[in-house]
Structure 1
Amino acid sequence: MALKPAVIVALALVVIVVAGLLYWYFVVAPPKPTEEIPDKITVGLTLGLSGSYSYASHQGLWGIQAAIKWINEVYGGIKIGNKAVKIELKYYDDQSNKELVSSLYEQLINVDKVDFLLGPYGSPLVMVAAPVAAKYNKLMINWMGTGDIIHEQGYKNLVMVSTHSSYQMRPAMEMIKTLDPNATIAVIFKEDEHNRYLARGALEEAVKLGLSVVFNKSYPVDIRDFTPIFTEMAAKKPDVIVICAHEADGILAAQQLAELNINAKLMIMGFVPSLKSFRDALGNLAEGWAGTNQWTYGASYTPDDAQALGYEWFGPTEDKFLELYNQVASPGQFPSEHAGAGAAAILVLARAIEKAQSLNQDAVRNVLNTMKLVTLYGLYQIDPTTGKQIAHKEILSQWQGGRFVAIWPPEIAVSRPVYPIPTWDEKRQGAQALP
């Protein structure tokens, strides 16, 4: 007997509704967790809270704690199934001493039973921590160990959120090419692993862009006087001086360039110009100096940036981050790039756990392989084979009128580059680098 039209319509509606429910359940709805949902997720790391890495490690810690506050208190916890799970942090002071790192990470894994790891601060210490994490197949987010060699050892459970060393100076070369295609460049670098990679990247990018490198020389790690090197360099009359240094030697280099009255149209030096100690040591002579940073406050990415790039946004905005940072940091502190990197590491890990709906190390690592995310720190995307960061961009900033402001890349710059910068004599008379 033929079905009545009304019955046919009703059956069709039932089929459509059932199909829709099945589609939602299996495709749209969040995946069900594949294991028992924990009451908390513990993340462990060591930090050089004393010793030579104290400043960067404290900043990193405050950034991590601010991000955890956002996840736990603002976001409501990591969403796994029908449960919102809070993050707990466990950390030890490694005293900036790589000899202590291995045993402390063994303790985090075997005694404290942490679920996930963050690396320590600094490439030499990450090189010690990474094999311990690999031994126990523990996922480790490397937030600020940027030596290229770290991610060339085959560690499948090591993931990076910052730009590795050999790419940190490349945006500076791009900017120089835009400002002055015929600029001549001098590159001077400290003879250590990080700064060798920094200089190598600068030199490779300069050659690639057709810039002329007229001077290229390293200096010993214990240097006390740059005069011989600077005198030799000055004879080449470079338009741009690029120095790859750490804090103490970088400040000394800038002071001696001023004393020798060696001028250039632009002077760039890694992260050192961003430090308060640099401005304090040079005063107005710091004007015009540019530096590269992984992140700088005032030039954070936003949800609108993420949408324009086709990436997912996750985490606090810059203003909210500063509010949370001030709740955990020592009085009078201001977030450095290290704080931004620490925050990014936690945010990236948290979102990956949510997407995996699991604490299984391999499941979370698989999510990290393909995840494209934007936080206030910038872009996250890795090479799935090495775990190297391939999307994050360095920010170039410059001292202009007493403020260290972002000038490159153009999409997040808050000011134009000053080129050429005032001479030393002009700055001694009070001149500032104003666009």
Structure 2
Amino acid sequence: MGKPRQFMPMHRPSRALALLLAVLLLAAACAGNDSDVDGFDGTVRLGAALSETGRFAMEGEDSRQGYDTWVRWVNEEYGGIRIGDGRYRAEIVYEDDESDADTAAELVQQLIDDEIDFLLGPYSSGLTGPASAVAEANDVIMVEGNGASDTLFDRGFRNLFLVATIATDYTRSGIEALAAQGAQTAVIAHVDTPFATSVAGGARRHLEANGIQVLAVEAYPEGVEDVSDLMAKLDGLDPDVFIGGGHYSDAVLFLQSAQELGIRLDAMLITVGPSNPQLVDDLGASVHGVLGPTQWEPAMAYEGSYFGSAADYADYYESLWGERPVYQAASSTAAALALHLAIEAADSLDADEVREALRELDVETFYGPIRFDERGVNVAKPMGTVQVQDGQIVVVAPDAAAMGKLVYPAR
């Protein structure tokens, strides 16, 4: 006869059963208190249409890194957005608007349909315009830092908020500094977009207010790849100052044409480009002496309770991305921070309460002061001006922010 059969305890099935029971109990507990397993009590979902492709791809990447800098900081350093007794994880859902206005509007509607809580803005006024119109139609708040055209805020919207300085004041501190150095005449060239047109209009007003004669104002269509004829025409007027309005690609066109034609002006003041180290890398010595407006620089003396000083923010940003932040990135971080602080002040995700909290916001930050007027425009922060000097980007105006002296004439 063989050995009698021995019945052993079923340890493995019982452990599996215990594990299953533990998982079920944990799930029930999480369902009961809406708490995530990582310690957060829920998620605040933001949405943003940004340019990953197309003509604004570089600025779109800077903007996304700025938004993601806030996400990393608020979740990992700050401990989540505080609402009531809870802490909520921040999440941003991105869609590629392909640098196209219609696509941006369609994607914002898609994000709203997907029930995001709030919106962050695209890059550029041309994309922010239709995107914010969709947000307004759906009564969804959008906070942004890179759509600065005045026309965006002439529509009476109640859901659009801008942390950056408005476009008509982009050139103000630079023009005041040039006037103080004796500049007497100027020409203006700009791409025919809402942002650049606002910049040009503001530049003309500031030039005239400072006694600088405007010899010509010329616009050119979006998408033009050669402005040599325009630059030659304006140079023929023998101006002291050239002011160019546009985005990064326009700065490249202005400077390449000037170099090819041998144009040497006492000063060139160009929006969106001179504040970005990439322009020096791309064009080298031809950028020397060029001026540009800047919303923010790491050397500025701004400081707040969140992120610390401008320099502290720049160090934190560099630790994440391996490069120093340009102002488009800082503007994006500041936009997300303003929304975050309004949510906490409202102690709610209710749109009416958060909107009211944004209108009452008055805070000092690494980006500068933030205080919105009735249009939704930050009226507390002045614009700075930088000049490329020996390959370095130096803040030269206004005097309170300057880290170096304006070189004039620059050529």
TM range (shorter): 0.7 to 0.9
The aligned counterpart of 1:118 is 120
The aligned counterpart of 1:58 is 61
1:277 Cα offset (Å): 4.6
The aligned counterpart of 1:262 is 263
Aligned counterpart in structure 1 of residue 306 of structure 2, from 273, 289, 314? 314
1:225 Cα offset (Å): 4.6
Matched residues in 2 for 1:116 and 1:337: separation? 23
Does the CA-based 8 Å contact 1:315-1:347 persist in structure 2?
no
**What is the aligned-residue RMSD (CA, Å)?**
2.3
Matched to 2:376, the amino acid is G
Matched to 1:415, the amino acid is G
Moved more, 240-249 or 147-156: 240-249
Matched to 2:354, the amino acid is V
The aligned counterpart of 2:396 is 407
Matched residues in 1 for 2:246 and 2:130: separation? 23
Alpha-carbon distance change, 369 to 397 in structure 1, aligned in 2, over 3 angstroms: same
Aligned counterpart in structure 1 of residue 152 of structure 2, from 136, 141, 150? 150
1:354 Cα offset (Å): 1.4
1:150 Cα offset (Å): 1.5
Alpha-carbon distance change, 259 to 53 in structure 1, aligned in 2, over 3 angstroms: closer
Aligned counterpart in structure 1 of residue 111 of structure 2, from 94, 108, 111? 108
Q: Within 5 Å, give how 1:268-283 maps onto structure 2.
A: 268-283=269-284
Question: CA deviation digits over 1:282-314, x for unaligned, max 9?
Answer: 3222111111122233336124xxxxxxxxx53
Give 3-state SS (helix, strand or coil) of 1:302's partner: coil
1:247 Cα offset (Å): 2.9
Structure having greater relative contact order (Cα 8 Å, sep ≥ 6):
1
Matched to 1:203, the amino acid is R
Q: Within 5 Å, give how 1:280-299 maps onto structure 2.
A: 280-299=281-300
Give 3-state SS (helix, strand or coil) of 1:71's partner: helix
Aligned counterpart in structure 2 of residue 365 of structure 1, from 330, 355, 368? 355
Does the CA-based 8 Å contact 1:347-1:375 persist in structure 2?
no
Question: CA deviation digits over 1:362-386, x for unaligned, max 9?
Answer: 11111211212222222212212x2
The aligned counterpart of 2:406 is 417
Q: Within 5 Å, give how 1:330-349 maps onto structure 2.
A: 332-349=322-339
Does the CA-based 8 Å contact 1:302-1:317 persist in structure 2?
yes
The aligned counterpart of 1:28 is none
Moved more, 213-222 or 395-404: 213-222
The aligned counterpart of 2:253 is 252
1:340 Cα offset (Å): 0.5
Matched residues in 2 for 1:100 and 1:188: separation? 28
Q: Within 5 Å, give how 1:167-186 maps onto structure 2.
A: 167-180=169-182, 183-186=184-187
Does the CA-based 8 Å contact 2:50-2:94 persist in structure 1?
yes
1:327 Cα offset (Å): 5.1
- 2:201 corresponds to 1:200: yes
- 2:75 corresponds to 1:86: no
Matched residues in 2 for 1:410 and 1:57: separation? 31
Aligned identity (percent) is 29
TM-score normalised to structure 1 length:
0.79
Gaps of 5+ in 1: 1-36, 304-312, 424-435
Give 3-state SS (helix, strand or coil) of 1:131's partner: helix
Does the CA-based 8 Å contact 1:171-1:396 persist in structure 2?
yes
Q: Within 5 Å, give how 1:191-230 maps onto structure 2.
A: 191-230=192-231
TM-score normalised to structure 2 length:
0.83
1:323 Cα offset (Å): 4.3
Does the CA-based 8 Å contact 1:66-1:321 persist in structure 2?
no
Alpha-carbon distance change, 102 to 257 in structure 1, aligned in 2, over 3 angstroms: closer
